[in-house]
Structure 1
Amino acid sequence: MWQFVDDRSDQIVYNTLQHANLVVQAVLFAALVGVALAVVVVWVPRLETLANAVSAIGLTIPAFALVGLLLPLLGIGAFTAFWAVAFYAVFPVLRNAVVGLRGVDPTLLESARGMGMGPVAVLLRVRLPLAWPVIHAGLRVSMQMSMGVAAIAAYVNGPGLGGYIFTGITQIGGANAVNYAVVGTVGVVVVALLADLLLLLLGRLTVSKGIRA
């Protein structure tokens, strides 16, 4: 195993960075979309049931099935992998953002309006900061889930560590089959743990001590 890793260390590092890059880009995009949709849902309450239903249905779609549906539409490569990861990443953020924005004390919102703040100012200066801890929790869930989806996206030649896992599976019985599978799996776990630690640090830096759980 160690010889296997040593012989391919440069490629393993490159694929690890590619995996992290794919997930981070997809999750950042999903976070922007999820929060924007949550704002619309909060401003138009009758959309909340629809948003919850779409989230529930979306998360039940198997990743392989989604990748298979995207393949004839978008082709093989990183673009398809990005959209597959972003599709799943948006739902935890959307759900938590709706809960967080809805959970802000109406008294605080009324006080902000009484101080002369308009709807946008209330959203940016009151609602989003107070909802951020809940949104941040959804972001962490989204990041962890996306690590696994990105590995499956290697099926369409997406970048990252999933290729090692698929290589190991296709070479079952071969000399390096287990090595490929272990390197890919452990690599995904390590990247996921590091990403979660960075998000924890982000939470410490951005969540006010007064509202920190």
Structure 2
Amino acid sequence: MLAITGTFLTIPSFALFILLLGPLGLGWPPVLFALVLYGLLPVVRNTITGLREVDPAVIESAQGMGLNRRQRLLRIELPLAWPVVITGVRVTTLVLLGIAAIGAVVNGPGYGEMIFTGLARVGTPVAVNMVLAGTLGVIVLAVLFDLIFYTVQRLTTSRGIR
């Protein structure tokens, strides 16, 4: 699974957007599809890592208490792996914000449209302002999402494993 999701990240975003033009056309569909592909690896990798880091003695104790595989996963393993899993989601969100801006190359929505329009107007008085506005929009969103996920992580992680 890691090899498959890792392969997606080896494809440059511009190239993937262009490859997706044929089957998905212009607009948000190729951007959404590409973002899903790019977002898989950090989440999958961190989930696997978090689950592997759960102490085998804890899993054995849960098994000794009579918990079946599903109960152990939901009640013991996932809560203990949660800080690592949510970190993967956090990293994915920040990476995808940057890639989403590039999605404007195929008429995708977002701040990338302002950046590319500004770059197309280089030499005019509004070019720098448009590029800065788009770039600052992405930066502000990244900071806000990072703070939100940090807060979610703090609120949903048991004090004993922080």
TM range (shorter): over 0.9
Gaps of 5+ in 1: 1-50
Deviation of 1:95 after TM superposition, in Å, equals 0.6
Tell me the equivalent position of 2:49: 99
Tell me the equivalent position of 1:77: 27
Match status 1:207 vs 2:130: no
How many residue pairs match? The answer is 162
Q: 2:88 aligns with which of 133, 138, 147?
A: 138
The letter of the residue matching 2:105 is Y
Deviation of 1:58 after TM superposition, in Å, equals 2.0
Question: RCO higher in 1 or 2 (8 Å CA, sep ≥ 6)?
Answer: 1
Tell me the equivalent position of 1:123: 73
Gaps of 5+ in 2: none
Tell me the equivalent position of 1:153: 103
Summarize deviations over 1:130-162 as a string: whole Å, max 9, x none. 111111111111011000010011111111111
Deviation of 1:67 after TM superposition, in Å, equals 0.6
Deviation of 1:175 after TM superposition, in Å, equals 2.2
Deviation of 1:94 after TM superposition, in Å, equals 0.6
Write the distance in 2 (CA, Å) between the matches of 1:140 and 1:108. Answer: 27
Write the distance in 1 (CA, Å) between the matches of 2:5 and 2:27. Answer: 26
Deviation of 1:68 after TM superposition, in Å, equals 0.9
Tell me the equivalent position of 2:117: 167
Identity over aligned pairs, percent = 49
Q: How does 1:175-186 map to 2 (within 5 A)?
A: 175-186=125-136
Write the distance in 2 (CA, Å) between the matches of 1:56 and 1:73. Answer: 22
Which stretches of structure 1, 4 residues or more, deviate above 4 A after TM superposition? none
Summarize deviations over 1:149-181 as a string: whole Å, max 9, x none. 100111111111110001011111122111111
Q: TM (normalized to structure 2)?
A: 0.96
Q: Please provide the CA RMSD for this pair.
A: 1.1
**Alpha-carbon contact 2:5-2:37 (below 8 Å) kept:** no
Write the distance in 2 (CA, Å) between the matches of 1:126 and 1:75. Answer: 44
Q: TM (normalized to structure 1)?
A: 0.73
Q: Secondary structure at the match of 2:159?
A: coil
